[in-house]
Structure 1
Amino acid sequence: MRDTDTDKVARLSRERFEHTRPPSRRDMPPVDTTNLPPGPRQPSLAQSAGVLRFRHRYVPGLRRRFGNVFTVRLLPAGRTVVISSRPDVTKEIFAGDPAVFHAGKGNAILGPIMGEHSVLVLDGAAHKRARRLLMPAFSGHALRGYREVVAGLAKTEVASWTPGLEFRALDRMNALTLEVILHVVFGVTDEERLAQLRPLVYRTVNVSPLVLLGWGFPPLQRMGPWKRTVETSYALDRLIVAEISERRQAPDLAERTDVLSQLIRLEDDGERLCDAELRDHLVTLLLAGHETTATALAWALYEVGRDPEQMARARDAARTGDDDWLEAIFKESLRLHPVLAMVVRTLMRPTTLGGRLLPRGTTVAPSILLSHSDPANFPEPERFRPDRFTGDHPPSLTTWIPFGGGVRRCLGAAFSQMEAVEVLREVFSHYDVHAVGEEGPKVRNITSVPDQGARIVVTPISG
């Protein structure tokens, strides 16, 4: 990359950090707390640590203490967040007017990494435009085109496993889903470029909650983990912009089916997307579509590997082409082990939810963690039961909410489920899986993962 190009990318990175700085207290409207549901009285820092870092104990503890709707105050700026696990409130939030229920403001903490053009941090007309541009890349027709690539990558990955040797399913699923994203979304096949991208993506995904909270304090970006995160982001930007530049000149651009090539070919009101827009869309799809799917797959292998009956049922599904059951395994994994804790929306005007008038500036958050573990929604919630997602009465989209809901429902939900089916089919067609030890959840960045990596051993299926 020439010096002038390097300077251009550095400017793009610097401007992103400047434009996506999380709001400070003076940037946020004051919230009238008079009519808010009760909640803990600890300082914002302690509540933030509880909700972000120790969520699996802290948040259920708040429900036991305050009921299924309660208020917390989170950094940055002591933001007021009303957390709910009531399906009726979730339905009202997902069906609410996007002009009133802003998701981008609630996701602002992700802005420095995702970028100001990310569909996750935009609201209003800008969000509607970004979603419209991305939707064709995740249509049913597009998914059918991606399936063969996913299946081939899954076959290569599973063929590399050593029978009888214990390994961490999370590590292998992270490696596999990263390859899927780099091939399907980025369209990268050059091994040298792939080798450069992999470690940068890994370091970006593994950002700690402390670093995310620190974006609201710019001086921190010059020291310790914040400085390293900035340096990683700059390096990732250089590779992505180089790939964009080369792809624009590719002689086969018109025939390529990867998401980057589709976005480069797009014209919106006669204009092509700029490097910054392309970069932000790619990083959003990379981070949103990589770790969530990998973690759910790791948990799926671990849970099936704990129960010989589940293993036999999964083996039969893979052999007979019962994709519905394989998909149900994935969905139940997302239900029992939520990767994300909650969905967030910020109210742009006073709004009544669940019979309570909430003031402008309040962030409302349907809790994935609490909804998925509520016995009223899922009998015997601690059990792994894929049959919940088969038959005539699957869980509603107000109780099973790993992909959010409404007009903000994750664009990649169908892709993620297609990918999971291909991976599980490949695994269970060749191996019986045996779980090793006990696993619990731990927080990594904003996601929850198996604390020991979902350790498994595989043995070839005889006959």
Structure 2
Amino acid sequence: MKQSDTIQRVRPPGSRLPGILQTALWAKDPWLYAQRARTRYGPIFSANMYPFGEVVYVSDPDAIRRILTIDAPKFATGEANRAIEFVVGPRSLLMLDGEDHKRLRRNLTPIFHGPNVENYLDVIRSIIDAEVSRWRPGSTVTLLPRIQAISMEVMIQAVFGVREPARLNRLRRLVPQLLSMNPLLILFPVLRRSFFGVGPWAGFVRIRNELDEILYAEIRQRRRSLDYQGSDALSLLLQDSADGLALSDAEIRDNAITLLAVGHETTSVATSWFFERVLQHPDVLRRLNSELANDDTTYLDATISETLRIRPPTMDVGRILQEPHLVGGYRFDAGTMFALSLATLHSSEDSYPDPDVFRPERFLENPPDRGRFLPFGGGRHRCIGSSLAIVEMRAIVTNVLSSTELRPVSAGEKMRPRGPMMVPEQAASAEVISNRLYRG
């Protein structure tokens, strides 16, 4: 046997701590856990994570590129997301691979690109102005929940075109409740059972059932009245169904839930981090305001990119290997779980000098290649709502900066885990110094 063959069968290095302890350390601070492990073990390391067992973390740019593109057919995404199927449903884009995924993505893609995204802008701006008009000068505003409210309203009104007041109010109440479910329901499937109608699972099912009732009622109403000629996502999905592409009510429901529950959350967290970082860097804020006053968004886009780099909305992208395969010189068996670590990829000194420094100029002077900057993932499973997310971030930032003066209330907020994301510890709190939109 050749020595190279022997090397290829060696497992990646990793902690020898018991799996339950590794899982606890990861759950406490996923960012710190990944950073320390990468420093100690290198860009490919293994961990023992409940309930998945062995998880192979990858932050090597070339290995990630191959997994997402060249070798993508060997890796399943839907299976890696199975833990959230009970939330989004089995026909969600997140759950599918192969031809099913290709067909559904082909139907969904136009909704979030080109003219359709531009059609949402007027509604987005009116929603932002309505929210910002309530920020009283002299008060402290916690930006994360306020931006979440904006993003939720964008999804409900602009993307899904829901207008009926009672349904609007119920969605505003229910979706945040769905997102605040007990995270133990994801980690411990055994808890997904009702204990005489009480407990976290019973509460979650009640919320999910009420959401389903609203969405199916909206779908039935539009089918009956043939009211699906608009540019919102639900109308476009119904148009596809009417054109013979056979989108079922269940498929439309599952992807509506996916967008409502997942799409708005990542955008709002990323935008909150944008303000937290910019308010801590007055030089960046001054340049932003100066260039936006001249309708120049070049530096804005660079600042958004730097925010997504240093505070990626999604820390990891999951894949499960479908057949024996080599990754980074190691041989893995079918069924191996991979976590493509965007957090450590974006903080690598090999790709980003002084990676802990917030410096938007790096995206103007020497932009990284695509394989080293993947805030929305990559390949055929790249986040389908990335274009809408960027448009929404631009609109929120531009409107808020042009109408208010904000000041941070702390010297910088630490990251804390909430579900699969890292959010600002104090919810990106800021003092409102002035606000020309304030209505009193």
> TM (normalized to structure 2)?
0.91
Count residues in correspondence.
Answer: 427
Partner residue of 2:386? Answer: 413
In structure 1, the partner of 2:94 is 120
Helix, strand or coil for the counterpart of 1:99?
A: helix
- Other structure's SS at 2:280 match: coil
Question: What whole-Å deviation, never above 9, does each CA across 1:42-73 have from its counterpart, x for those lacking one?
Answer: 34333333334421222222223322211112
| Most deviating of 304-313 and 167-176 | 304-313
Q: Which residue of 2 aligns with 1:364?
A: 338
User: Is 2:321 the counterpart of 1:347?
Assistant: yes
Q: In the alignment, is residue 133 of structure 1 matched against residue 107 of structure 2?
A: yes
**One-letter amino acid matched to 1:180:** V
Partner of 1:435: 408
| C-alpha distance in 2 between matches for 1:330 and 1:287 | 22
Measured in 2, the distance between the counterparts of 1:269 and 1:187 equals: 20
Could you report, residue by residue, the CA deviation over 1:24-49 in whole angstroms, capped at 9, with x for unpaired residues?
xxxxxxxxx96321222334333333
RMSD across aligned positions (CA): 2.1
Report the secondary structure of 1:238's partner residue: helix
CA separation in 2, counterparts of 1:190 and 1:310? Answer: 42
**How far apart, in 1, do the equivalents of 2:364 and 2:194 lie?**
49
1:241 aligns with 2:212: no
Q: Which residue matches 2:4?
A: none
Asked if structure 1 preserves the Cα contact closer than 8 Å seen for 2:66 and 2:72, the reply is no
> Which piece of structure 1 moves more, 89-98 or 177-186?
89-98
User: In structure 2, what is the equivalent of residue 156 of structure 1?
Assistant: 130
Matches within 5 A, 1:61-80: 61-76=36-51, 78-80=52-54
Matched with 2:158 is 184
User: What CA distance in whole angstroms lies between the structure 1 residues aligned with 2:257 and 2:292?
Assistant: 33
Q: Can you give the 5+ residue segments of structure 1 that lack an aligned partner in the other structure?
A: 1-32
Three-state SS of the structure 1 residue aligned to 2:339 is: strand
Answer whether contact 2:138 2:434 (CA < 8 A) is retained. Answer: no
Alignment of 1:319-330 (within 5 A): 319-330=293-304
Distance of 2:23 and 2:204 partners within structure 1: 21
**Structure 2 counterpart of 1:80, one-letter code:** E
Identity, % of aligned positions: 34
For 2:285, the equivalent position in structure 1 comes to: 311
SS of the equivalent of 1:395 reads coil
Report how far residue 218 of structure 1 moved: 4.0
Question: Equivalents in 1 of 2:329, 2:45: separation in Å?
Answer: 14
Contact 1:315 1:432 (C-alpha < 8 Å) held by counterparts:
no
Aligned pairs for 1:24-423 (under 5 A) are 35-76=10-51, 78-215=52-189, 218-219=192-193, 224-250=199-225, 252-254=227-229, 256-267=230-241, 270=244, 272-391=246-365, 393-423=366-396
Contact 2:193 2:202 in 1 (8 A): no
Q: CA deviation at 1:433?
A: 2.1
Moved over 6 A (4+): none
2:432 & 2:192 partners in 1: Cα distance?
Answer: 47
Q: CA deviation at 1:85?
A: 1.2
How far apart, in 2, do the equivalents of 1:47 and 1:185 lie? 40
User: Are residues 409 and 268 of structure 1, via their aligned partners in 2, closer, same or farther at CA, if it must alter by over 3 Å?
Assistant: farther
Q: CA deviation at 1:270?
A: 2.5
Structure 2: which amino acid aligns with 1:176? Answer: I
Distance 2:133 2:300 in 1: 20
CA–CA separation in structure 2 for the residues paired with 1:440 and 1:94: 31
SS at match of 1:291: helix
Indicate the larger mover: 106-115 or 36-45: 36-45
Q: Is the 8 A contact 2:9 2:331 kept in 1?
A: no
| Shift of residue 193, structure 1, vs aligned partner | 1.5
Q: SS in structure 2 opposite 1:375?
A: coil
Structure 2 unaligned residues grouped into runs of 5+: 1-7
Distance 1:390 1:179 in 2: 33
CA–CA separation in structure 1 for the residues paired with 2:68 and 2:307 = 23
Structure 2 counterpart of 1:49, which letter?
A: A
Cα deviation code 1:120-148 (max 9, x no counterpart): 11111111111111011122121121222
CA contact (8 A) 2:321 2:334 kept: yes
Q: C-alpha separation between the residues in 2 aligned to 1:363 and 1:351?
A: 12
- 1:69 maps to amino acid: I
- Residues in 1 aligned to 2:24 and 2:106: alpha-carbon distance in whole angstroms: 36
Deviation of 1:82 after TM superposition, in Å, equals: 0.7
1:426 matches 2:434: no
Please give the per-residue CA displacement for 1:62-114, whole angstroms capped at 9, x wherever unaligned: 223322211112233x4321101111111111113443111111111111101
What amino acid sits opposite 2:218 in the alignment? E
1:258-304 deviation digits (Å, cap 9, x = unpaired): 10011011138835422211110101111221111101111111211
Q: Is the 8 A contact 2:194 2:202 kept in 1?
A: yes
2:387 corresponds to which letter in structure 1? A
For each residue in 1:433-461, what CA deviation from the matched residue of structure 2 results, as whole angstroms up to 9, or x when unmatched?
A: 21111311111121111111111123338
1:367–1:82: structure 2 CA closer, same or farther, 3 Å change rule? same
Alignment partner of 1:167: what SS?
Answer: strand
User: Which digits, 9 at most, give the CA deviation of each residue in 1:396-455, with x for residues without a partner?
Assistant: 222222200011111111110011111111011112221111311111121111111111
Question: Any conservation in 2 of the 1:169–1:298 contact (CA below 8 Å)?
Answer: yes
CA distance in 2, matches of 1:56, 1:307: 22
